[in-house]
Chain A
Amino acid sequence: MVKRYKNFKEVGETVVLYPDNYINDIEGEKLEELCTSYLERGFKKVVIDFSETDIINSIGVSVLIGMIEKVRDMNGNILFSGLKQVNYDVFSIVGLTKHIMIYETEEDAIGGNAKASGAVTTA
């Protein structure tokens, strides 16, 4: 069953989160809260689809690192999809690309296709 809302979509045990076009401290914290609430509800897989995200600032990055840590602590799985080139560059500079699966599309991420990490859209 698929439930689609403005900022998230539930697909079975997976939740897809759609952050805003600019991830700063405020947007990052909203995302973190949403993520935490899903983990507490028993969702094990979190996909963050960045298709609509143009800029992620360093504070946004730090919140995302915190989220990854939290998901892992709760034995969940977190995946990224739909990254624009600049956001991939940002994750690459901080070294996140070595720690997380990155998919071209959210469908690939939900389906767990093999094409991951470095497979990015160049918007």
Chain B
Amino acid sequence: MKDRMLFPTCPDGEFFGRAREIDYICRRASEKPSPAIFLFGRRWTGKTETLRRVYRELFWNQAKVVPLYYQFKGYGSPEEFSEDYLKEVLKQYLAFRLRDARYVRQEISLDKLDRLLVDNDLYPLADLVAIHREARKASDTTAALRNALSSPAAVSSRSGIPVYLILDDLDKAAGPAGGKDLQLTRELMGSLTLAQTSFVASASVRVPFGGGAFNGSAEAMEMTGLDEELSASMMLDLCRLYHVDAETEILKLAANRLEGNPMYMKSLVWAASKTGQGLTTLKEFADVYTAELFDGNIGLALRSALGLSGINSLRVLHSCSVAQRPISDEELSERFRQGAGELNGIIDGLSRAGLIEVNLGSIKWAGDAAVKDFIYYVYETRVKGRSAEEVRTYLAREVLKEGFNFRSSKISVKLKDEAAEVIKAFNNQKILKILLRNQSFAARFKKGSVKGPGDEGEVHLPQTVGCFDSERLEAGEAGGPILVAHGFQNGRYDSGNEVVWMVSVKDAASPVNTGDVENFLRRSLILKENFRAARLSRWMVGREGFTAEAGKRADTEGVFSSDAVQLRIIRENLEEGSRASRKTPDRIVPVREFEVVLPSASKAELVAARAVEEIGTEMGFDDAAIGQIKAALVEACINAFEHSRLKTAKVFLRFVASADRLTIYVQNGGVDFDSPAEPLSEAPSDGLPRKRGWGFELMKGLMDEVRVERLRGGAKIVLVKYLVEKGDGRNGQEV
């Protein structure tokens, strides 16, 4: 088999989440006219990997453009750049024409390249080599530069196929001192503008040449870190590969701390593997992270990339990294007693490194959290003289605290789910009215004299038959959706007893205020139009309770009000009542998670079906429900594979088994899944159903909830099936 390797890239199994960008650039490359694209992103967000994969795709899988990849490295002189650039252009064209990847990888001398061009009858291109030699001999920098920069156009004219330039690390073209090679940057931008060569160029900073402009029209693409789900999937895969024990929640936390930066995340897993540690607890993560940041790959990479030359530069950087707001250059000058010249030099350097953003004298931190931690470490040890161990201890403590908060915030997301659970558990039961009146509850709780049901009485709850959120009914409304539950009062299923509960949930650190109450009153009034026949009950739930005025207003309007504590008590009471009425033994079902990664292989979806059969059986779903879940999951997997951009792409499945439901997340690394809104195939003429486009309708028909969540770098289908205890005949049906 022929060797098809071009520029080095990481193994496919370790590359995640950039399929959309690769696909977009490749698609735009072959368009006429092809637009210029500037790809911006912080260090190590995967720009080079992405561009090299674009090159590989264009090299092997199309013939509309000749791809030429060039990575700027920061040169000693424009002459050296000219020779290097010319050689790359010529040998890559030879490689493309002769379909021989070796020319891309090998270092070829100018003499040999000259011979190869002549041997292949590419005389006009061989002339470029001759012109280059003449220019160097005459020490004519401008001629050498222009000759090299015109080489892509010469290739295009010789081959008759337009050239597509892939320029990596464009910001390094300015040289290590920034602006030192003004001639190079001016000529380069001029050649890109005048030659109308199509290109994509990556840079770590938004203004690669400190204001030097490209005069054509261009698109800007921002390459941010991978999102939390994708990052966690990537890390989980790597953990499996390197035999590191891991917990999804900790990986999500790590992804959050590392802002989805692929290099950091890989380094973290490698470090855990190397030291034999796991990533299953917060403490383990804090240990691995701080060690990696100070002495590991991340620290090493940051040390060399940031190039913190002087102590003043470090001071300025530290000030910017800890400042809550942008700082002015005057403020910095005063703080560090530095002259304008020196300070400007420092600011320029830090700005070029992408660590700060300068805007009209206002300086803002632009680095990521890991860089900030690293700067803190270097500053505390070098400037303040603290020991490495002391700083490590402090940072580990911060990581633990942040991780704890992160977990708490994750838990708080569940308030709405908890409210929905409570509504579903109403089941014709009664609860103390005080649990639905926050002001009374708070007053009595404060006084420490909670009285029984006597003076407040009880509320008779309906039997609910379904609960959904109002998103579809009020698409344009700001604020979170309102939960809507249908039910019947008094155990009678007739229109006279039909009732609708509307529940607003405020899951924030501040109490419900009068504005929230007014907003809910307005929205519920409009929403009620959808359910005219039914009697309306309104309920507001606020994690932090209600302000006095809001509580009063809610009471006046007959709106029930509860905080998180009341909600929990209601839930416990309802569950207790429900258990007592069913006379079934109490059981605690913890939430369990399973993860399966499907390779791109024939019938791989059946592996998922088998897995869910096991999980579903264990949870107590009956055969009919298991059959429905399997069929829906197969559809979701097929859809995920179909829309993965890479042929070797995997599909990630996460099964979350909780007490009352099975939730399945199906995620790919490609573009969006099909959605029901997409055009469907036409129906056959004889009244038979249409042939294609049934995937989503099947999923929706077979599951209780189906939704698609768009993610950066892909999409995720979420399938939910509720569990109803065996024997009541409703297992797998809508509840």
| A residues neighboring B (CB under 8 Å) | 22, 24, 26, 54-59, 61-62, 65-66, 68-69, 72, 84-87, 89-90, 92-96, 99, 122-123
Complex contact A94–B694 (CB within 8 A) = yes
Name B600-639 residues within 8 Å CB distance of A: 602-603, 605-606, 609, 623-624, 627-628, 630-631, 634-635, 638
Which chain B residues lie closer than 8 Å to A96 at the CB level? 688-689
| B142–chain A nearest beta-carbon distance, Å | 61
Partner of B701, one of A68, A87, A93: A93
Chain B residues with CB under 8 A of A54: 627, 630
Does the CB pair B694–A86 fall under 8 Å? no
Write the chain A residue with the least CB distance to B697: A93
Residue of B nearest to A21 (CB): B606
Check if B694 sits within 8 Å of A62, measured CB to CB.
yes
Looking at the assembled complex, report how far the CB atom of A76 sits from the nearest CB atom of chain B, in whole angstroms: 13
Within the complex, which residue of A55, A62, A69, A92 is in contact with B634, where a contact is CB–CB below 8 Å? A55
Pair B688/A58 contact, Cβ less than 8 Å: no
Residue contact B624 to A86, C-beta cutoff 8 Å:
yes
Write the nearest CB–CB distance from B171 to chain A, whole angstroms. Answer: 48
Closest CB pairs A-B (n = 5): A86-B627, A93-B701, A62-B691, A58-B694, A95-B689
CB distance from B197 to the nearest CB of A (A): 43
Residues on A with C-beta less than 8 A from B688 are: 65, 68-69, 96, 99
User: Which chain A positions have C-beta within 8 A of B634?
Assistant: 55, 57
A93, B676: Cα distance in complex, Å: 14
* Residue with the greatest number of chain A CB neighbours at <10 A, chosen from B602, B627, B686, B687: B627
CA distance A85 to B626 in the complex (A): 11
Query: Which residues of B sit under 8 angstroms from A89, Cβ to Cβ?
Result: 627-628, 631, 701-702
Pairs A–B under 8 Å by Cβ, sample size 28? A22-B603, A22-B606, A55-B606, A55-B609, A57-B634, A57-B635, A57-B638, A58-B694, A61-B698, A62-B691, A62-B692, A62-B694, A65-B684, A65-B688, A65-B689, A65-B690, A66-B691, A69-B684, A86-B631, A86-B702, A89-B702, A90-B631, A90-B698, A93-B697, A94-B698, A96-B688, A99-B687, A123-B623
CA distance in complex: A62, B690 (Å):
8
A17–B605 alpha-carbon span in the complex (Å): 25
Residues on B facing A (Cβ under 8 Å): 602-603, 605-606, 609, 623-624, 627-628, 630-631, 634-635, 638, 684, 686-692, 694-695, 697-698, 701-702
The complex places the Cα of A118 from the Cα of B439 at a distance, in Å, of 56
Closest A residue to B637 by beta carbon equals A57
Contact A69 B701 (CB under 8 A): no
User: In the docked arrangement, what's the CA distance between A58 and B673, Å?
Assistant: 15
Given contacts A89-B701, A94-B697, contact A58 B623 (CB under 8 A): no
State whether A85 touches B697 (Cβ < 8 A): no
Assembled-state Cα–Cα distance A57/B692 (Å): 11
Q: Which of B627, B695, B697 contacts A84 (CB 8 A)?
A: B627
* B689 adjacent to A99 (CB under 8 Å): yes
B685: nearest chain-A partner, CB-CB: A69
Query: Chain B: which residue is nearest A93 at the CB level?
Result: B701
Nearest to B609 among chain A residues (CB) is A55
Contacts beyond the supplied A55-B631, A69-B688: 11 A-B pairs with Cβ under 8 Å: A22-B606, A26-B602, A55-B630, A58-B692, A59-B638, A65-B684, A65-B691, A72-B686, A85-B623, A86-B702, A89-B627
Chain A residues near B691 (CB, 8 Å)? Answer: 62, 65-66
Complex contacts, B638 vs chain A, CB 8 Å: 57-59
Q: What residues on A are CB-neighbors of B628 within 8 Å?
A: 86, 89
Which A residues are CB-close (under 8 A) to B624? Answer: 85-86, 122
Residues of chain A within 8 A (CB-CB) of B695 are 58
A20 to chain B: closest CB distance in Å? 11
Report the separation of the CA atoms of residues A65 and B695 in the bound assembly, to the nearest whole angstrom.
15
Residues from chain B with a CB closer than 8 A to the CB of A24 are 603
Complex: chain B residue closest to A68, CB-CB = B688
What is the minimal beta-carbon distance from A59 to any residue of chain B, in angstroms? Answer: 7
B698 and A93 contacting across the interface, CB-CB below 8 Å: yes
B605, B628, B688, most chain A CB atoms within 10 A: B688
Q: How far is the CB of A58 from chain B (nearest CB, A)?
A: 4
CA distance A98 to B698 in the complex (A): 17
Q: Which residue of B lies closest to A66 (CB)?
A: B691
Of B602, B628, B689, B695, most A-chain CB atoms within 10 Å: B689
Alpha-carbon gap, A73 to B616, bound state (A): 43
- Quick check: B687 and A86 within 8 Å, CB to CB? no
Contacts of B627 in A (CB 8 A): 54, 84-86, 89
